[in-house]
Amino acid sequence: MSVIGENIKKYRTAKGITQEQLGQLVGVTTQAVSKWERGGTPDAEILPSLSQVLEVSIDALFGREEKSIASFIARKLCQLPEKEAFRYAFDICWAIEMGLLQDISAMDDFFGMFVDRSAITADSDGYFAKIIRDGGLSTVRLSKDFHHFFLMVEPEESIKDNIADPESIRKVFELFSDKRIIKIIFYMYSRLNTPIATSLISKCTGIEMSEADKCLEILCENRLATRNVVDTADGQINTYMFHQESSVIPLLCYADEITKKVTRDFICTFDRTKPLL
């Protein structure tokens, strides 16, 4: 058996389809598929269809790269321009959400209609797909030009055992309930991440300098910002940089969902048999 024949058989059986089904999907006879798997080689024009149906690259069919779908996706993303890569990644997230419905018949009817999401995101309202099951949970936001995705695999222990205690969580929300801190956060994240003096933060937010310094120290204590002392001709001044890699932006996105109260569930599956926490 040739390398490509071995790989066609391996990927076909991994997907759980017969030779006849593969032939129908790529437009050849069952005999042709059988011939490939016994040592023949598909015609070059068939290879793109085989790659798409078996969900592997053409190189993978010839045994020239990693065979896993994860490796294929990673390589694909590496080859795309940055903005296009993020959009392609979200397409994959949307496909994951559809797959987590775990209903092939519904997906065939439903996913084909909304595969590019244009029918969902034609207006400015926010739509959500939410799947909450014993194996984990996932949510997708589909607004006109504002998309995000969250996926959590159910931990072996409870979710509650893996997050901080209620008092520690409360302190985080207490931090974000201070309107001065929220103003500073919005201002700092509206700039490129360069050191900013307290005087400029005070001027641009309307918060008195001593109060701004107190708020920024709180943000530093929570590892959301870093303080540096700079020597000037007039003495030392404090400058601050925000930690752009923090969870602030995801937190703001989910707070926005709660605040607007106009989001609609496009898909909602809740069939857990155990409590969330």
Read off the pLDDT of residues 221-249 as tens digits, 9 standing for 90 and up.
Answer: 999 999 999 998 988 999 999 988 889 99
Residue 19 has pLDDT above 70, yes or no: yes
Q: How many domains in the chain?
A: 1
Say if 91 falls within a structural domain.
Answer: no
Report, as an integer, the average pLDDT of 263-276: 83
Confidence of residue 217 (pLDDT cuts 50, 70, 90): very high
Say if 32 falls within a structural domain.
Answer: yes
Q: Which residues pair with 264 in a beta bridge?
A: 127
In the prediction, which pLDDT does 107 show?
A: 63
Q: Which residues pair with 147 in a beta bridge?
A: 142
Give the lowest-confidence range in 60-74, 142-156, 168-182, 213-227.
60-74
The structure's pTM equals 0.70
What CATH number has the domain bearing residue 69? 1.10.260.40
Say if 14 falls within a structural domain.
Answer: yes
Say if 40 falls within a structural domain.
Answer: yes
Say if 224 falls within a structural domain.
Answer: no
Read off the pLDDT of residues 74-129 as tens digits, 9 standing for 90 and up.
Answer: 878 888 899 999 988 998 888 888 888 887 666 666 655 555 555 565 565 678 88
Say if 50 falls within a structural domain.
Answer: yes
| Mean pLDDT taken over the chain | 86
Confidence of residue 131 (pLDDT cuts 50, 70, 90): very high
Instruction: Collect contacts of 162-171 with beta carbons under 8 A, ≥24 apart.
Output: none
Say if 237 falls within a structural domain.
Answer: no
State which residues form the domain around 31. 3-74
**The 136-142 sheet, strands edge to edge:** 147-153, 136-142, 127-133, 264-270
Say if 250 falls within a structural domain.
Answer: no
In the prediction, which pLDDT does 212 show?
A: 95
Report, as an integer, the average pLDDT of 30-52: 88
In the prediction, which pLDDT does 228 show?
A: 93
* Distance, CA of 225 to CA of 204 (rounded, Å): 18
- 191 DSSP 8-state letter: S
More confident call, 73 vs 133: 133
* 171: three-class secondary structure by DSSP: helix
Q: Which residues pair with 128 in a beta bridge?
A: 141, 265
